[in-house]
Amino acid sequence: MHHTSSLEISASAYSQNIAFIRSRIGSKPLISAVVKGNAYGHGIAQLVPIAEQAGVQHFSTFSSDEAREVLASSTQSNEIMIMGMLHLEEIPDLIQLGIQFFVFDYERLEKAIEAAKSLEKKAKIHVEVETGFRRTGFEWEDREKLLKLLQNNESNLELKGLCTHFAGAESAQNHPRIQEQIDLFEKFRIFFAENKIEFERLHTACSAATLLFPETHLDLVRIGISGYGFWPTRETFELIKSQLPPENRNPLKRLLTWKTQIMSLKQVKSGEFVGYGKSFQASEDMTLAIIPVGYSHGYGRNLSNNGRVLIAGEYCPVIGTVNMNAVAVDVSQLAEIRAGDEVVLIGNQGKNEITVASFAETSDLINYEMLTRLPAQIPRKIVD
């Protein structure tokens, strides 16, 4: 089937990013590739084999459906960890499949114990503790009751991890709060250790914590955005810039290129309005290229009169409003141009580049949001 646009996902870029993360964390901690949000828009089915090639054997998802997709896309035996949503009635199936999951409340923990007992198996759990993010996690006050449950059900639980999540390690203004979280996590660790509860791995770090707080590396780091080639924030980059090798000041490489082609060309006369309403009036005669990508494809409406694309290696501005399925760009300055010519929405063409950051900055979206809005239906092709 033909689609209106396509994505290319670079395997070598992912390998380079993982190698960079490895160079920061040393050989001990395991790297878990965070592939929630359809692998941050890159496609779980594409990302899993790419990550396997890069030496990754551990994957983190938000939900059970994503975990099953990782399993279906795996070509080797991987560990798969659900950090968020699952339905309680799925737990027996997840245990059978060997899929690991976070427990952050008694209901889920008790259901896991009950299901493991009746299956005569062990549920592979990660105990998430609340240290300050205030989304999910057992509270400090829960520790005694939690301890009893873990002690009394040792034979049905495989304690894969003790974990927490930081509330914005990518921004220096949050760092005092992150430090409090680090300290509280340490208190939880000591409490369980003193009570002879052993977890296979301690883990807390996302990309920003991994890059900025070496003490959070512990046994495993959960790497999302930096694996895909983006700094969690510009500030993260600024904070570690001086530690980067002078010959390679930006070791993170974007994996993603988003391409389409010109659907048709349109001549517009000076004074005419373009598209819905009156947001753009031509001040001279113009040639417009109509591009078959709109907000239903993840090309945000806030790029109306604002975004730009690459055609024939040149930047071409978006004219008028972004429609559901199409957008007009000004190609008046290009000499030879035809329907079918390649259009780059994100990526390189000739000497120029449209980065996700520039795209996201213009549209007021952070990288994370822009990436995960790319619909799953856009075909994704793995390239070197």
Q: Could you list the residues that contact ligand PLP (CB under 6 A)?
A: 34, 83, 165, 206-208, 222-226, 232
Residue facing ligand PLP at closest CB distance: 224
In the bound complex, what is the minimum distance in angstroms from residue 297's beta carbon to ligand PLP? 23
Contact 19, 248 (CB under 8 A): no
Nearer to ligand PLP, 181 or 207 (CB): 207
Nearer to ligand PLP, 133 or 315 (CB): 133
Q: What are the DSSP calls for 288-332, one per residue?
A: EEEES--GGGT--GGGTTT-EEEETTEEEEEES---SS-EEEE-T
Q: Which amino acid is at 208?
A: A
Q: How far apart are CA 303 and CA 322, in angstroms?
A: 7
In the bound complex, what is the minimum distance in angstroms from residue 264's beta carbon to ligand PLP? 39
Residues 6+ apart with CB under 8 A from 273: 280, 281, 282
For the CA atoms of 204, 210, 212, 218, the dihedral, rounded to the nearest 10 degrees, stands at 60
In the bound complex, what is the minimum distance in angstroms from residue 202's beta carbon to ligand PLP? 14
Q: Exposed e or buried b for every residue in 314-339, given b needs 16+ CB within 10 A? A: eebebbbbbbeebbbbbbbeeeebee
Residue 76 burial (10 A CB sphere; 0-12, 13-18, 19+): exposed
Nearer to ligand PLP, 161 or 232 (CB): 232
Say whether 124 sits in a helix, a strand or coil.
strand
In the bound complex, what is the minimum distance in angstroms from residue 85's beta carbon to ligand PLP? 12
Q: How far apart are CA 379 and CA 197, in angstroms?
A: 46
In the bound complex, what is the minimum distance in angstroms from residue 83's beta carbon to ligand PLP? 5
In the bound complex, what is the minimum distance in angstroms from residue 188's beta carbon to ligand PLP? 16
Contact 179, 136 (CB under 8 A): no
Q: Which amino acid is at 333?
A: Q
In the bound complex, what is the minimum distance in angstroms from residue 174's beta carbon to ligand PLP? 13
Tokens of 80: 């798969």
Nearer to ligand PLP, 63 or 332 (CB): 63
Nearer to ligand PLP, 37 or 275 (CB): 37
In the bound complex, what is the minimum distance in angstroms from residue 168's beta carbon to ligand PLP? 10
Nearer to ligand PLP, 229 or 232 (CB): 232
Nearer to ligand PLP, 116 or 256 (CB): 256
For the chain, first and last CA: distance in Å?
Answer: 24
Nearer to ligand PLP, 222 or 380 (CB): 222
